Amino acid sequence: MTPPDPQRLSLNTATVKQQWTLAQAIDGCARHGVRGISPWRDKLAAMGLQKAVSAIKANDLSVTGLCRGGFFTAKDWLDDNRRAIEEAHALEADCLVLVVGGLPQGSKDLGHARERVQECISNILPEARAAGVPLAIEPLHPMQAADRACVNTLEQALDMCDALGEGVGVAVDVYHVWWDPKLEEQIRRAGRKRILGYHICDWLVPTRDLAFDRGMMGDGVIDLPLIRSWIESAGYTGFHEVEIFSEHDWWRRDADEVMRAMKERYLRAS
Amino acid sequence: MTPPDPQRLSLNTATVKQQWTLAQAIDGCARHGVRGISPWRDKLAAMGLQKAVSAIKANDLSVTGLCRGGFFTAKDWLDDNRRAIEEAHALEADCLVLVVGGLPQGSKDLGHARERVQECISNILPEARAAGVPLAIEPLHPMQAADRACVNTLEQALDMCDALGEGVGVAVDVYHVWWDPKLEEQIRRAGRKRILGYHICDWLVPTRDLAFDRGMMGDGVIDLPLIRSWIESAGYTGFHEVEIFSEHDWWRRDADEVMRAMKERYLRAS
């Protein structure tokens, strides 16, 4: 297997969300030789879109994704997703990541929630295509089906892609899909065309929280080199984005230490 | 849809594990008119097998399952599963529930762990068949893949059943499978022959713990009547077993109160 390529490492800004503004994260990536960045929209709004675009260009970073569109359960989902598409366009992002939302308040109708997700994506897809912004459906871990995303397997996401056509694909985040008995098969099915992003971190044992207890690569049980080999065999040549929500550990550390650990672990354990 | 039938309600003793011994749970079922019971083996050992068999017969209860066999990652898995089969036979249990175990200590090889599970089941299956004890593979929620069970979807469990042949089926626990986009399809596939147990509770939002924060039926987001309709359409006519691990709530209440709530919620929200 080929070793990981440091030129393809990307920082998802959630990894240092407690420590750095977006301006600091852009500067940090440049300083640490990290070539990709994937900003979250709250940080982007705080910095201002034009300033962010300029700083990212000035540092010659690639925007490997914009987090996030989706949440079709929200009242203002249409306007919000339109704005997200415009922002992703301005940033020349590789994709807009869609965290699709879970069950609407008070509902237990998962089937309907899923149909609605597909309808909403089909609604925003023409604008995304026109803007040249690929939409990346991110299947989230089944433990987040109720509150964050009712798309929970790669197979389900790819079925949606097939129904929706061009301009939509998937973001494969190992944290959400590592357990899936059909992972290899569905990564192969996705192929180069549908894989729009690849996110890495690790699954800790024990995991103390359903959302904010992700591990740094190498600290958990995910066979990252194996999954990377599947992703690469499928033809994916994009960035590998490190996204770690870690209330108990990495969010409490100095951000430069996080960057150094991320680079070291990327080479050693991914 | 037919209403829930109180004659088919069963108590999984984990629901009152902090409050009652097995003797108390048997007595409690009889007192509250609950016709089924599914004991855990630690409680069974504490009471003594023969005493338990006598008390269960004296109260005319059905043993809807014995929890648990499996954990093929343990050193003494073979002897332990043999004992479990003998106990299930003595109790005339509808099935022996297999929680298959996760990754072996220090391993990240999920594929191998899964192959090993199938080998181990095939190893104990002749004895189980001879004893007339059906083995019920229980797919566990993907969030427990590393530490409790590497069988995580009904589809995966049924693929194993197909490979293993007669004498093995599945325990469908709504907590573990409610999120699965293929649930209806796979329940239909399982059919009467493969569905050996049906466990109910609810998924709370938010969920505060990965193992011990299950809800009472009606307190969460699972559409229990819908899933029951699928189970019944598939031909299942067995008991509906209430299994609630609840460190923050139900384990802290008076057990008779739990029994009353369970009966009421079974009729109203299952």
Q: What is the pLDDT of residues A76-109, one digit of tens each?
A: 999 999 999 999 999 999 999 999 999 999 999 9
Contact A206 B207 (CB under 8 A): no
Query: Is omega for the bond preceding A252 within 30 degrees of 0, making it cis?
Result: no
Residue A206 with chain B: CB contacts under 8 Å: 147, 210
Contact A210 B205 (CB under 8 A): no
* Interface with A, mutate which of B179, B208, B213 (most A CBs under 10 A): B179
Write the burial class of residue A78 (CB in 10 Å: 0-12 exposed, 13-18 middle, 19+ buried).
middle
Indicate the residue of A114, A143, A146 with minimum beta-carbon distance to B181: A114
Residue B222 with chain A: CB contacts under 8 Å: 108
| Main-chain phi, psi angles of B227, to 5 degrees | -65, -40
* Residues facing residue A223 across a β-bridge: none
Contact B110 A179 (CB under 8 A): yes
Q: What is the pLDDT of residue B2?
A: 82
Q: Which DSSP string do the residues of A192-239 spell out, in sequence order?
A: HHHEEEEEE-B--SS---SSSB-B-TTSSS--HHHHHHHHHHTT--S-
Q: Give the pair of three-digit tokens for residue A226.
A: 């194996």
Contact B221 A141 (CB under 8 A): no
Residue B155 with chain A: CB contacts under 8 Å: 181-182
ipTM beyond cut 0.90: yes
Q: What is the pLDDT of residue A1?
A: 72
Indicate the residue of B143, B180, B222 with minimum beta-carbon distance to A143: B143
Q: What is the pLDDT of residue B38?
A: 98
Q: Helices B22-32 and B255-269 sit at what angle, rounded to 10 degrees?
A: 50
> How far apart (Å, rounded) are the C-alpha atoms in residues B104 and B72?
9
Q: What is the pLDDT of residue A24?
A: 98
Indicate the residue of A108, A178, A181 with minimum beta-carbon distance to B156: A181
Q: What is the pLDDT of residue A2?
A: 82
pLDDT digits (tens, 9 = 90+) for B223-257: 999 999 999 999 999 999 999 999 999 999 999 99
Contact A85, A133 (CB under 8 A): yes
pTM: 0.97
* Interface with B, mutate which of A184, A209, A210 (most B CBs under 10 A): A210
Within A33-76, residue ranges assigned H as helices are 41-47, 49-58
Q: What is the pLDDT of residue B171?
A: 98
CA A81 to chain centre: 16
* B35 min Cα distance to partner chain A (Å): 29
Residue B107 with chain A: CB contacts under 8 Å: 221
* Interface with A, mutate which of B105, B107, B110 (most A CBs under 10 A): B110
Q: What is the pLDDT of residue B84?
A: 98
Q: What is the pLDDT of residue B1?
A: 72
Indicate the residue of B108, B147, B180 with minimum beta-carbon distance to A223: B108
Cα atoms in the Cβ-side hemisphere of radius 13 Å centred on B222: 28
pLDDT digits (tens, 9 = 90+) for A39-83: 999 999 999 999 999 999 999 999 999 999 999 999 999 999 999
Q: What is the pLDDT of residue A226?
A: 98
Which residues of chain B fall below pLDDT 70? none
Which residues of chain A fall below pLDDT 50? none
How do strand A96-99 and strand A135-137 relate by DSSP bridges? parallel
Contact A197, A172 (CB under 8 A): yes
Contacts for B213 with CB less than 8 Å, ≥ 6 apart: B204, B207, B245, B246, B247, B248
